[in-house]
């Protein structure tokens, strides 16, 4: 008679989020929160300082960068204080947020690059700020910092 072995696991349960601030910032992917917040801060600061010909473009880029910065900050605080432990679907929320943010940042980077091209023939100071905002907006998109 054949022995009854337990069937192999069909799913992989990733490890829990490490506890403590130091452990959180030393593990992947949580170590990317600080650069994400720093780049996000620089993007919306530079975008707020730009002068664009079309206010609608400027408004969308500023909305995406500021909203993404604030939601990233809230996610980081929820990991630090352990709020994520109350919900079972926090991994799905995190994945959906980062996927949506990547798409929105790509659209914002394209609009900011368009504003940069338009401002090339205007004041050079505005042009250089637009170039910096376009480059950092592109860096916030996943894997596109070149």
User: Distance between CA atoms of 65 and 46, rounded to whole angstroms?
Assistant: 10
pTM over 0.75: no
Q: What is the DSSP letter of 4?
A: -
User: Distance between CA atoms of 144 and 146, rounded to whole angstroms?
Assistant: 6
Helix count (H) and strand count (E) of the chain? 5, 0
Other Cβ atoms less than 10 A from the Cβ of 60: the count is 16
pLDDT of res. 8: 59
pLDDT of res. 19: 62
User: Distance between CA atoms of 4 and 67, rounded to whole angstroms?
Assistant: 54
pLDDT of res. 82: 78
Q: Is the pLDDT of residue 135 over 60?
A: yes
Q: Is the distance from CB of 60 to CB of 108 less than 8 angstroms?
A: yes
The domain segmentation of the chain, as residue ranges, is 36-140
Q: Is the distance from CB of 79 to CB of 32 less than 8 angstroms?
A: no
Percentage, residues of the chain above pLDDT 70: 71
Q: Is the pLDDT of residue 2 over 70?
A: no
pLDDT, tens digit, for every residue of 37-55? 888 888 778 778 776 667 7
Phi first, then psi, for residue 112 (nearest 5°) are -70, -35
Q: Is the pLDDT of residue 14 over 60?
A: no
């Amino acid at each position: 008679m054949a022995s009854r072995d337990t069937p192999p696991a069909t799913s992989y349960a990733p490890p829990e989020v490490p506890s403590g601030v130091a452990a959180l910032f030393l593990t992947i992917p949580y170590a990317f929160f600080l650069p994400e917040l720093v780049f996000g801060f620089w993007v919306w600061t530079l975008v707020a300082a730009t002068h664009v010909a079309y206010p609608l473009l400027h408004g969308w880029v500023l909305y995406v960068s500021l909203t993404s910065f604030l939601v990233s900050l809230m996610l980081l605080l929820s990991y630090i204080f352990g709020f994520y432990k109350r919900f079972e679907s926090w991994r799905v929320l995190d994945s959906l947020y980062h996927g949506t943010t990547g798409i929105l940042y790509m659209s914002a980077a394209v609009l900011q690059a368009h504003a940069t091209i338009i401002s090339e023939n205007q004041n050079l100071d505005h042009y250089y700020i637009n170039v910096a905002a376009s480059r950092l907006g592109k860096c916030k998109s996943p894997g596109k910092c070149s």
